[in-house]
Amino acid sequence: MEAAAIPASDGVMPSKPGSSYEAVRRLASSSAVVLFSMSDCCMCTVAKTLLFGLGVGPTVIELDKLDGGGHDIHAVLRQLAPGGGGALHDWQALPAVFVGGKFLGGLETLMARHINGTLVPLLKDSGALWL
């Protein structure tokens, strides 16, 4: 299972400078591992605990702590989530995990990769783990 790159433009979401889509691209590429979260989301806490437990120091972006509540960024993340679109509930789009600037997925994908042994090699390849 390959992590999905965020295309420069997919014809649906604009990639113009200053757009929420561009903000997600910029933030997702700012660190080896980036986790978009809400501070009161239990699945987000599980994802953070797993990553920190593996020795990864992800950049955690708490959307509810951003100016305006991060609603625009959250809308972009919902588009990236499986079955993307407005029909998803907020919790289904979070956590959103990016590794090496590519969208990995949510908690289900993160846990599946951990269980099948592909998460640590991916984290090593991205520079998030040294050993």
Sheet holding 4-5, edge to edge: 4-5, 102-105, 96-99, 33-37, 59-62
Q: Is pTM beyond 0.85 here?
A: no
Q: Provide the residue-wise pLDDT of the chain in tens; the chain has 131 residues.
A: 445 554 443 433 344 556 889 999 999 999 999 999 999 999 999 999 999 999 999 999 999 998 888 889 999 998 887 765 544 444 468 999 999 999 999 999 999 999 999 999 999 999 999 87
Q: Smallest Cα–Cα separation from 91: which of 42, 125, 129, 50?
A: 42
